[in-house]
Chain A
Amino acid sequence: MTTGRTLLQVKDVTKRFGGLVAVNNVSFDVKEHEVLGLIGPNGSGKTTIMNLISGALKVTGGTISMQSRRLSTLPAHQISRAGVARTFQLVRILPGLSIIENVMAGSAFGHHRQWGHQAWHQAEELLERLGLDEQMHQPTSTLTYIDQKRLELARALAGEPRVLLLDEWLAGLNPTELQIGIDLVSQLRKEGRTIILVEHVMDAIRSLCDRCVVMNSGTKIAEGTPSQVLSDKDVIQAYLGDE
């Protein structure tokens, strides 16, 4: 699915929290229309990288850029406007807003700005596409877990981002929901969206990712197609330990 043009570039990125090095000199590229999986054991620095890309955290060293534009010096809201949208590891919907307003929040200020009727229609369409049209007029408090996740995804898509960051978007779903979730992401992939996803679910990684970057203790230990990296000796060792 890739055209080969690099969209997002992570170069020599380091993040320190006090004495702890959470991300150590990591580099990788994300190509246009590519789904890149960011995998690794817990605490290996995957979510930290997501937070660095989205601007929730500031890099200690190195750069992150989108084509020629440097993102790593920008505040989060400007990164969002440049075209990076995300979901959060622990779902964060806006409880005081209606469901449709939750989606419009993503388009009102984001990369591709919309407001008024246009934004409303787009939000309705997105909700329909993600299978939330029946719940559209309910309060957010009645949503099930997967529906909250769908809503968050709709919000991220509403700004028509150039890069979509999905931080364990499939975590915590039951088997039926998981299949729905995987189908949804693969649909996004077919549309040619550029996605970085942090994931633990191996089935999802195999079926969704074009390429994977594997992290362990803050460093990149492997990069390649899912089947390549999952058979890599270092990767197996990182997941299962020495034995």
Chain B
Amino acid sequence: MEARWVGPVVGAVLFIVAALVPYVADGYWMSIAVTIAMYTALATSWALFSGPTHYISLASGAFFGIGGYLVATAMSDYQLSFWLMLFIAPIVSAVVAALIGFATLRLSGVYFVIFTLGLAEMIRNLVSWVQNNFLGSRGLYVLTDFTEDHIYWMLLAVCLAIFLFGWWLSRNRLGFALKIIGNDEEVAKHVGINTALSKVILFTTTGFFGALVGVIIAPRYSYIEPNQVFSPELSFLVVIMALLGGAHRLWGPLVGVIPFTLIWEAITISFPNSTTLFLGIAFLLIVYFIPNGFAGLIEKYWSRMRA
């Protein structure tokens, strides 16, 4: 078999195995599987943009929140269908991402991080205010017939779409452009790359997929509050998982998401008051000891074994 087909074939097999999980997993493991699928989608999509460009986006929570909030408002207040919102919310979020991108991605990475840092919180404040003053603060419900299994399969489909997109990107001009931008933005401009536009396009896809995941996961909570869906913590979790796995490989975030979700689950149950501390320690461990993530470690051992 040709080497370049190994990845896609392994990927396809893993995908089929993953699709069969609901037939064997019980309620507890199913809920963990949903969480893993959710973070795999978010972290992989994050890494497609932040991996090559090194722009650290903390906007995941905001996009995710836009998805969750829009589907809840539309279903509770306007009797629109879930499926329609599955279509509309990601587009709204992508537009928001594009606007943020045009304002910040022309500038250095620091401005971008800072802008996205408070974004979820800011949108939450704005949404709460609008809701309290103009819409009346009624509860927002997302009532569907979906079971955890359905949510899981939908998320898995999103993961597949993101992986296919990433695979396509790796063999296409846009992906190549981002790689060059990450190496040297000045050179990128001088070989004819519209650097700002390339970054904005990729960031827009992060916005799209973030909201898509937010819509799909909403039925799991059924009662939606802005305080809960616009979660700054989610943005940080996505960053940690992607970096832990390694943002420079398409499969990197996946190998970070699985172990981290399991540990995170254990910690939130056993030490519910120490989650923030743990998050801080995880950040520090990654920066100091595994700067290239698990993917980096795996590649190192692999090349050592072959040498």
Contact = CB atoms under 8 A, between A and B. Distances in A.
- What interface size band does chain B fall in? 10 to 19
Secondary structure class of chain B's binding surface, majority of residues:
helix
Interface string A71-89: 0000111101100011010
Contacts of B176: 101, 104-105, 108
A94 B184 CA distance: 7
Contacts of A106: 191
A108 B188 CA distance: 11
A37 interface: no
Interface string B176-207: 11011011101111111111000000000000
Contacts of A105: 176, 180, 187, 191
Contacts of B183: 94-97
Contact of A76 (B177, B180, B190): B190
A181 interface: no
A78 B194 CA distance: 8
A81 B184 contact: no
A109 B173 contact: yes
Given A108-B173, A108-B176, A80 B182 contact: no
Contacts of A190: none
A92 B192 contact: no
Question: Which among A56, A97, A159 has the highest number of chain B CB atoms within 10 Å?
Answer: A97
A241 to B, nearest CB: 35
A92 B186 contact: yes
Nearest to B189: A76
A97 to B, nearest CB: 6
B63 to A, nearest CB: 28
A92 B190 CA distance: 11
A80 B191 contact: yes
B173 A77 contact: no
A115 B189 contact: no
A109 B191 contact: yes
Contacts of A55: 189-190
B158 to A, nearest CB: 29
A115 B186 CA distance: 21
Contacts of B195: 77
Contacts of A75: 189, 194
A155 B187 CA distance: 10
A110 interface: yes
Given A109-B173, A109-B191, 12 more contacts: A76-B189, A77-B188, A77-B192, A80-B190, A85-B190, A86-B190, A94-B187, A95-B183, A97-B179, A101-B179, A108-B173, A155-B191
Interface of A: 54-56, 75-78, 80-81, 85-86, 88, 92, 94-97, 101, 104-106, 108-111, 115, 155, 159
22 contacts: A55-B190, A56-B186, A56-B189, A76-B189, A76-B190, A77-B190, A78-B192, A80-B189, A92-B186, A94-B183, A94-B184, A96-B183, A97-B180, A97-B183, A101-B179, A105-B176, A108-B191, A109-B192, A110-B191, A110-B192, A111-B192, A159-B191
Interface of B: 173, 176-177, 179-180, 182-184, 186-195
5 tightest A-B CB contacts, nearest first? A109-B192, A80-B192, A76-B189, A94-B183, A110-B192
